[in-house]
Amino acid sequence: MPLATVNGISLNYQIKGDRAKGTDTKGGGPLVVLIMGTGSPGRVWELHQVPALVAAGYRVCTFDNRGIAPSFEAADGMTIDQLVADTAALIEFLDEGPALVAGTSMGARVTQELALTRPELVRKAVFMAGHGRFDLFQKTLSLGERELDAAGTKLPPKYDAALTAVLNLSPATLADHNTARDWLDLFEFTGGPVTPGIRAQRKMDRDFDRVQAYRGIKVPSLAVGFADDRMIPPYLTREVADVIPGGRYQEVPDAGHFGYLERPEAVNKILLDFFAS
């Protein structure tokens, strides 16, 4: 991935397109910008969403948010406004806007704020696990994560994997022995020390309520809820769609917080249908 200096920091990004369709060159197809959630690199999108979008004729930009190396880690802290400004500056740097923008979880919040404050950069917006506020559970969980980080506590790998699974996957996924085993093995293998940048992402303000502010979003918007999401329950996503003029809401069944990984075919169809409409 190349590094771009935008908004005063370095962002690690990548653009992919289809050479046969000519979308591997600048301007060869509509640009889609995908924004990842807390603690995850942009390459996660390459498992399912990037191939589907490229096959449909889009150019797709993924990047590592501030806090995720080799982008600027911002170990001393960051704000949602800085993440929004980073994304805006990247779209301007690429000079292919307005872009189709989709984000998940923290990335959905960035997308929401970008659509509100920089509508000239956004053609359409998708908020997966979108939210304008946190309820008591999310606030409590966030405080617990911060306490673990501050104490330097390292959970046993198998317990950490099980906790990650129950918080981010649907019970339907975990009910299948083989599928559950694969996910648990993956979480156990990929778990490890929390970096300073991820800790900084976790420390961002959780005591916010932006729901009514989103009445000001004017770009075509789709909020996608995951029916079994424990991290961002779908009612929080639906209330964002409900306040946006003309906002739409779709819900993916049998999907948890990682719905874009659990039910990629359904999520990809939603993205492609909305972007093409």
Does residue 81 have an active-site annotation? Answer: no
State the DSSP H helix or E strand holding residue 82, giving kind and residue range, or none if neither.
Answer: helix 80-94
User: 3-135+208-276 adopts what CATH topology?
Assistant: Rossmann fold (3.40.50)
On the question of pLDDT at 74 being above 80, the answer is yes
On the question of pLDDT at 77 being above 90, the answer is yes
Tokens describing residue 125: 């917006």
pLDDT tens-digit readout, 220-252: 999 999 999 999 999 999 999 999 999 999 999
Tokens describing residue 107: 């990335």
pLDDT tens-digit readout, 94-116: 999 899 999 999 999 999 999 99
50: Cα within 13 Å, side-chain hemisphere: 20
Provide the mean pLDDT of the chain: 96
Per-residue pLDDT band at 194 (split at 50, 70, 90): confident
% of the chain at pLDDT higher than 90: 93
Q: Among 40, 71, 170, 257, which one carries the catalytic annotation?
A: 257
Does residue 257 have an active-site annotation? Answer: yes
* Cα separation, 194 vs 84, whole angstroms: 23
Would you state the pLDDT for residue 134? 95
pLDDT tens-digit readout, 111-134: 999 999 999 999 999 999 999 999
Does residue 156 have a cis peptide bond before it, meaning omega lies within 30 degrees of 0?
no
Judge contact between 91 and 99, C-beta under 8 A.
yes
State the DSSP H helix or E strand holding residue 54, giving kind and residue range, or none if neither.
Answer: helix 49-55
Per-residue pLDDT band at 266 (split at 50, 70, 90): very high
Does residue 131 have an active-site annotation? Answer: no
On the question of pLDDT at 55 being above 90, the answer is yes
The DSSP bridge partners found for residue 126 are: 102, 222
Would you state the pLDDT for residue 193? 79
End-to-end CA distance of the chain: 31
On the question of pLDDT at 1 being above 80, the answer is no
* Cα separation, 277 vs 275, whole angstroms: 6
Question: Any idea where the domains of the chain sit in the sequence?
Answer: 3-135+208-276, 137-197
Q: Against a cut of 0.75, is the pTM above it?
A: yes
| Stretch 26-50: mean pLDDT | 96
State the DSSP H helix or E strand holding residue 261, giving kind and residue range, or none if neither.
Answer: helix 259-262
Q: Among 40, 71, 105, 142, which one carries the catalytic annotation?
A: 105
Would you state the pLDDT for residue 116? 98
Would you state the pLDDT for residue 191? 80
On the question of pLDDT at 154 being above 90, the answer is no
Would you state the pLDDT for residue 264? 98
On the question of pLDDT at 205 being above 80, the answer is yes
